[in-house]
Amino acid sequence: MTTSTALLLADLAGVAVFAASGASAGVAKRLDLFGVVFVGFVAALGGGIFRDLAINEVPPLAFADWRYATTAVVTAAAVFWLHPQLARLRTTVLVLDAAGLGLFTVAGTLKALSVDVPPVGACLIGMLTGIGGGLGRDLLTGEIPVVLRREIYAVAALTGAVVVAGLDYAGVTGPVALVGAAVLVFVVRLVALRRSWSAPVAGLRESASVSRGWRIPRPGYRSGKALSAGGSEQSTGTPLSRWHRRRPTG
């Protein structure tokens, strides 16, 4: 199998699984047929469009080759009609997303290397190709993009991209090696989900005034007194004392 054939198959497989992932997310959000297909289309082709623009391939294959758009639309429509048979859509989306992440990362890295992009740049393009579809899907369905959460996502894609670049440097670019790299990304992503692996986040520390029990007064108040419109102080007292002052006598 030639490199171009392997690249085409990896691309179309990635398009199919990411289209299914996007369509499943759209179904879970109760979108109509057009909405489901549109989310599936963006999820399937967003990463590839970015990759082609990054390596100056215009127009992108998503528009130049009918097989890409057709695969995305048909897969998304099939998910829409078959969704009653797709139990636990959340799990389905995660598994399909992990598969698409691996396939698109491998395809993006391999294509960048095939046009003589240096290995570091090829790894970055491959990673962005992998995460681009999920980013578009999450934005369209009103979710925080998974790449911005604590989950291991972009790191898994970057790991696969580095493996592909290393295999290419060693002259090992056969289908088995490339499938192995895609499976590696898939496994890393699912194991990270299963074991709740997450990236570190910055710890938030309370300010000194809060930790010492100080309370910052509201604007216009000073030591239990409010400022009148003219700037003079006016005693406010407590709600109970004000009620006593207003209570009628006798």
* CA terminus-to-terminus distance, the chain: 103
pLDDT computed for residue 113 by the predictor: 92
Residues 223, 153, single domain; the answer is no
Annotate the chain with DSSP letters as a single string: --HHHHHHHHHHHHHHHHHHHHHHHHHHTT--HHHHHHHHHHHHHHHHHHHHHHTT-SS-HHHH-HHHHHHHHHHHHHHHHHGGG---HHHHHHHHHHHHHHHHHHHHHHHHHHTT--HHHHHHHHHHHHHHHHHHHHHHTT---GGGSSBSSHHHHHHHHHHHHHHHHTT---HHHHHHHHHHHHHHHHHHHHTT-B---PPP---HHHHTT--PPPTTEETTEEE-TTS-EEE---HHHHHHHHSPP-
Domain count, the chain: 2
Answer yes or no: do 154 and 221 share one domain: no
Residue 209 lies in a domain: no
Tens of pLDDT, residue by residue over 74-120, are: 999 999 988 776 656 667 778 888 888 898 899 899 989 989 999 99
Task: Tell me, yes or no, whether 124 and 231 share the same domain.
Answer: no
Mean pLDDT, the chain, rounded, equals 80
Please report whether residue 205 resides in a domain: no
Q: Is the pLDDT of residue 49 over 60?
A: yes
Instruction: Verify that 139 and 234 share a domain, yes or no.
Output: no
Same-domain check for residues 124 and 240: no
Indicate the pLDDT class of residue 39, thresholds 50, 70 and 90. very high
Give yes or no: residues 229 and 163 share one domain: no
Q: What pLDDT shows up at residue 214?
A: 43
**Domain interval for residue 121:** 3-194
In this structure, of 44-53, 87-96, 127-136, 179-188, the range with the lowest mean pLDDT score is 87-96
0.95 exceeded by pTM: no
**Same domain flag for 17 and 95:** yes
Tell me the pLDDT tens digit for each residue of 156-212: 999 999 999 999 888 887 778 888 899 999 999 999 888 888 777 766 554 444 444
- For residues 123 and 95, which has the higher predicted lDDT (pLDDT)? 123
